[in-house]
Chains A and B, each alone.
Chain A
Amino acid sequence: MIFNYLTGTYRVVSNYPGTTVEVSSGAAKDNAFPFTILDTPGVNNLIPNSEDEKVTRDILLSETDYRVINVLDAKNLRRGLLIALQLIEMGLPVILILNMMDEAKSRGIEINLKAIKEVFGLPVVAAVATRKKGLEHLFPALKDCPKSTFSFQYSEAIEGGIASLLPLLPPAPISGRSLALMLLAGDETLRPWLEERLKTPEMEQIEAICSQYRKAYPESLSYRINIERLEKIDQLLLRIQSGERVSVQGWGRRLGEWSTHRFIGFVWMLLALFLSYEFIGVLGADLAVGFMEETVFGGYINPFLIRLVKAVIPFGIVQELLVGPYGIFTMALTYALALILPIVGFFFLIFGFMEDSGYLPRLAVMSNRIFKIMGLNGKAVLPMILGLGCDTMATMTTRILETRKDKIIVTLLLALGVPCSAQLAVIFGMLSGFSPWIVISWAAIIAGVILLVGFLAGKLIPGESASFILELPPLRWPQMKNILIKTLSRIEWYLQEAVPLFILGTLVLFVLDKSGAMASLELWARPLVVSWLGLPAESTSSFIIGFLRRDYGAAGFFAMAQKGLLTPNQVLVALVTITLFVPCIANFFVIIKERGWKMALIISGVVIFIALLMGGVVDWGLKTFSITL
């Protein structure tokens, strides 16, 4: 909100290079003040524990000639000052904005602004950003922005460490003292930055000093540093803050408590699930897709393109490449833009809403126990939910998880069993004409496989599981504009990343089809498909397409089911197999990028094996117990 005030309305949301963290930028709207404003993610600490924190720290480390606007929650000054203290330590020109002054007041907190100004020697602006109160003081304060005169001493051992590291450090936009503290705290994320600037012997020397000082603190030096900072802040707060704290039982807090309640919380969860389904499934998949596919593409764009191509290009093969059954326009683009885009778009809207309202962390609280079974914790719910939108994007967000083990397990489960929205849409479309028992069995089998594989992976994969510590921000009604901006930037990402792959996939299919390779592949895979899975031989091509995108494969089965080529039992076998099948090729590439070649191949191998195994088992079970669905 303060960002909006500073820049007016125009802003660019982009992912920080190499991350999924979104950073907004915009030009300051005051002409006398020719600066670009960067909106970095919120942080708890500048010794990074999360990707958000790392991005913010990296921005501080890589930009030059800048000012920092530090927005503090006035009712939670202690934590805000923990960041402020670190910014001051970095020797940066900082402006402190005490936001939500009204809420602080209603909680009985009196804040002595003068004392803050005196203690830190920094400009302080008291504000209520939602009502734009106090923000008019911001531009004048930005214009002359002094550095703080405040400094404080750590205990001897830490000061000793700082003193011995200082002469070894390269110049940086932030003070050597703050760099030394990061190193003492054992900040591994700083290493690449240092390696760029220092030679190996110097790095080794730094390493030696750090480990020497770290050894003295069995409970971790970074913790000690934080404690000393907080103790200093608590001391300062005596001067800055007064008044008896009144607990305010507002609606926001009460709703927040209900949303994680052990009974009411589940009702909430079901309600959220139902509303999301109505929104994405009915509004997105039914109405929007129907309109885009049948009316826009089927009725206008494709017939027009087909006529145009046939009229302009005389070669049959090129015509087919563009508008044939495996054509770039008729298959790839229609599919990407008419079928999937509306669903993904609606999904991102819902996801953005959950994100901004503060509900996602609550979902993590509710599901923590289930994820514990799989050697994970509640935080894994975020990539898993996002996986229901797009597995590729979700695989990238596994970076929010702390340990390598957690990342591998979630990547595996995403690849194995979390169907993305596109695939879900096809699956639900396909199931609509069949008995509800198929849906129920399908869901039960997939959930069972995810749990079982997660459990086994948790046991088999070596390494530590991360512990679950998660802040629950207050629930609030999100700003629709922010959600829209976020959704648009994600859709842009989808168009850039996914659409080229659709085209590539279609090209591969086209070549396989035209060269006759498809036919020989079908012949080769026939025993597996026909004897083991008990499916008609024609379904082989769906599996081959499934290698490129699972939802493509599902769409193949959809077409077969519509033609009446599959019995209900076969529908279940086909769906189980294709849901568990390797995800799209884009996801495969992202797994390579995030986890390396070897792990990507292992994961794919495991996934294909489990998919075929489960398909066969389901077929065998249905036949043995002569169940007809």
Chain B
Amino acid sequence: MTSNPDRLNGTPEQHQGHRWYGGREVRTREESIDELLELIWILREKGVTDLNSLLQNTTDPEARAVLNQMMGQGLFEMEGDILKFKEKGESLAEGIVRRHRLTERLLMELFEMSEEEAEEEACKLEHVLSPAVTDSVCSFLGHPPVCPHGKPIPQGPCCKKLTGEMKPLIRPLNDLALGQEGRVVFISTRVKDRLEPLSSFGVIPGIIIQLKQRRPSYVIQIGETSIALDESIGREIFVKAV
């Protein structure tokens, strides 16, 4: 992310692809464009779309020039003071945000990196991951809907197909052995109405669930609460065995 202060203190070895001149960070034009696209997307999620706020939020000293180039490439247009993505820019930004947040998820959930480390790595990987790798990561993680900060991950083609060829460490609750416990990593459901009752019973990422029985219905236990649910719901709750 562009606003990450860590990046300014990083060493050249950690930031391959970034050239340094007299201690000041310089990145390639493509990366600058990526960073700005990402920033526009993130600000738009907060409901901020004006140029001034954008300029205030970026650390890129050449932001104006880069933005001019981007406009020339037809990535966005201006309506008065308001920035508006064109189709091309929208899909590029979506891809970057998707890669960034999927990487965060991967690094934090699976490699248990700290938030800062994951953030830093994600910022680098978001520029380089190929579409095929991105979709593999997405499938591996079970097509998570949100990043560890709870921000939505844009969906990719893999999410629509819901493919799962990879053998994941994170697996559906249903795959636990009876009596085994698992920590919920995320809940990936296409049926929105399911999420709310689940969270009302306290089933959210981070919580430990025990699988009590499979037949005639699935029964899980969280602390002192027993909940019966459909097999199809258990398939959408992804856990890491503990």
Whether B227 and A470, one on each chain, are in contact in the complex, defined by CB atoms closer than 8 angstroms, is yes
Closest to B232 in A: A467
User: Given contacts A76-B223, A220-B195, are A369 and B47 in contact (CB under 8 A)?
Assistant: no
B186-219 interface with A by 8 A CB criterion: 189, 191-202, 204-206, 212-213, 215-217, 219
Whether B45 and A262, one on each chain, are in contact in the complex, defined by CB atoms closer than 8 angstroms, is no
- Is B110 on the interface with A (CB-CB < 8 A)? no
Whether A468 and B216, one on each chain, are in contact in the complex, defined by CB atoms closer than 8 angstroms, is no
Closest to A214 in B: B192
Whether A467 and B191, one on each chain, are in contact in the complex, defined by CB atoms closer than 8 angstroms, is yes
Which of the residues B145, B196, B228 comes within 8 Å of A361, measured between beta carbons? B228
- Is A260 on the interface with B (CB-CB < 8 A)? yes
Give A561 to B150 CA distance when docked, in angstroms.
70
Closest to B213 in A: A260
Chain B nearest CB: distance from A215 CB in Å? 10
Give A160 to B45 CA distance when docked, in angstroms.
11
Whether A226 and B196, one on each chain, are in contact in the complex, defined by CB atoms closer than 8 angstroms, is yes
Whether A216 and B152, one on each chain, are in contact in the complex, defined by CB atoms closer than 8 angstroms, is yes
Whether A156 and B197, one on each chain, are in contact in the complex, defined by CB atoms closer than 8 angstroms, is no
Closest to B205 in A: A227
- Is B226 on the interface with A (CB-CB < 8 A)? yes
Give A470 to B226 CA distance when docked, in angstroms.
9
Whether A470 and B200, one on each chain, are in contact in the complex, defined by CB atoms closer than 8 angstroms, is no
- Is B13 on the interface with A (CB-CB < 8 A)? no
- Mark interface residues in B62-90 (1 if CB within 8 Å of A CB, else 0): 00000000000000000000000000000
- Is A365 on the interface with B (CB-CB < 8 A)? yes
- Interface residues of A, count at CB 8 A: 57
Give the one of B45, B155, B226 with max A CB within 10 A. Answer: B226
Give A79 to B227 CA distance when docked, in angstroms.
13
User: Given contacts A468-B217, A472-B228, are A230 and B204 in contact (CB under 8 A)?
Assistant: yes
Whether B216 and A45, one on each chain, are in contact in the complex, defined by CB atoms closer than 8 angstroms, is no
User: Given contacts A216-B45, A222-B196, are A366 and B216 in contact (CB under 8 A)?
Assistant: yes
Inter-chain contacts of B213 with A (CB < 8 A): 257, 260-262
- Is B9 on the interface with A (CB-CB < 8 A)? no
- Is A49 on the interface with B (CB-CB < 8 A)? yes
Give A79 to B197 CA distance when docked, in angstroms.
12
User: Given contacts A160-B46, A216-B152, A219-B146, are A469 and B198 in contact (CB under 8 A)?
Assistant: yes
Inter-chain contacts of A47 with B (CB < 8 A): 196
- Is A223 on the interface with B (CB-CB < 8 A)? yes
Whether A467 and B145, one on each chain, are in contact in the complex, defined by CB atoms closer than 8 angstroms, is no
Inter-chain contacts of A42 with B (CB < 8 A): none
Which of the residues A218, A226, A369 comes within 8 Å of B217, measured between beta carbons? A369
Chain A nearest CB: distance from B214 CB in Å? 8
Inter-chain contacts of A222 with B (CB < 8 A): 195-196
Inter-chain contacts of B192 with A (CB < 8 A): 219-220, 223
Inter-chain contacts of A261 with B (CB < 8 A): 213
Give A82 to B45 CA distance when docked, in angstroms.
27
Whether A368 and B228, one on each chain, are in contact in the complex, defined by CB atoms closer than 8 angstroms, is yes
Give A212 to B194 CA distance when docked, in angstroms.
21
Closest to B199 in A: A226
Give A82 to B202 CA distance when docked, in angstroms.
9
Whether A469 and B201, one on each chain, are in contact in the complex, defined by CB atoms closer than 8 angstroms, is yes
- Is B30 on the interface with A (CB-CB < 8 A)? no
- Interface residues of B, count at CB 8 A: 40
- Is B125 on the interface with A (CB-CB < 8 A)? no
Whether A230 and B196, one on each chain, are in contact in the complex, defined by CB atoms closer than 8 angstroms, is no
Whether A217 and B152, one on each chain, are in contact in the complex, defined by CB atoms closer than 8 angstroms, is yes
Whether A218 and B227, one on each chain, are in contact in the complex, defined by CB atoms closer than 8 angstroms, is no
- Is B116 on the interface with A (CB-CB < 8 A)? no
User: Given contacts A365-B219, A378-B217, A469-B233, are A230 and B202 in contact (CB under 8 A)?
Assistant: yes
A238-264 interface with B by 8 A CB criterion: 245, 256-257, 260-262
Whether A218 and B152, one on each chain, are in contact in the complex, defined by CB atoms closer than 8 angstroms, is yes
User: Given contacts A157-B45, A368-B230, A471-B226, are A45 and B200 in contact (CB under 8 A)?
Assistant: yes
Which of the residues B155, B196, B219 comes within 8 Å of A223, measured between beta carbons? B196
Which of the residues A49, A402, A472 comes within 8 Å of B226, measured between beta carbons? A472
Which of the residues B47, B145, B200 comes within 8 Å of A219, measured between beta carbons? B145
Closest to A83 in B: B200
- Is B225 on the interface with A (CB-CB < 8 A)? yes
- Mark interface residues in A331-345 (1 if CB within 8 Å of B CB, else 0): 000000000000000
- Is B165 on the interface with A (CB-CB < 8 A)? no
Closest to B192 in A: A220
Closest to B210 in A: A247
- Is A479 on the interface with B (CB-CB < 8 A)? no
Whether A49 and B200, one on each chain, are in contact in the complex, defined by CB atoms closer than 8 angstroms, is yes
Chain A nearest CB: distance from B38 CB in Å? 16
Inter-chain contacts of B166 with A (CB < 8 A): none
Whether A260 and B152, one on each chain, are in contact in the complex, defined by CB atoms closer than 8 angstroms, is no
Whether B229 and A257, one on each chain, are in contact in the complex, defined by CB atoms closer than 8 angstroms, is no
Give A474 to B227 CA distance when docked, in angstroms.
11
- Is A377 on the interface with B (CB-CB < 8 A)? yes
Give A256 to B213 CA distance when docked, in angstroms.
12
3 residue pairs, one from A and one from B, having the closest CB atoms: A226-B199, A223-B195, A45-B200
Report which A residues bind B (CB closer than 8 A). Answer: 44-45, 47, 49, 73, 75-76, 78-79, 82, 107, 155-157, 160, 185, 212, 216-220, 222-224, 226-228, 230-231, 234, 245, 256-257, 260-262, 265, 361, 364-369, 377-378, 402, 464, 466-472, 474
7 residue pairs from A and B, CB less than 8 Å apart: A44-B200, A156-B46, A265-B216, A368-B217, A369-B216, A469-B197, A469-B227
Report which B residues bind A (CB closer than 8 A). Answer: 45-47, 145-146, 150, 152, 155, 189, 191-202, 204-206, 212-213, 215-217, 219, 223-230, 232-233
Given contacts A75-B224, A231-B204, 19 further A-B contacts (CB under 8 A): A47-B196, A75-B223, A107-B224, A155-B150, A160-B47, A212-B47, A218-B155, A219-B145, A219-B146, A223-B196, A223-B198, A226-B196, A227-B199, A230-B204, A260-B216, A468-B229, A470-B227, A471-B225, A472-B226
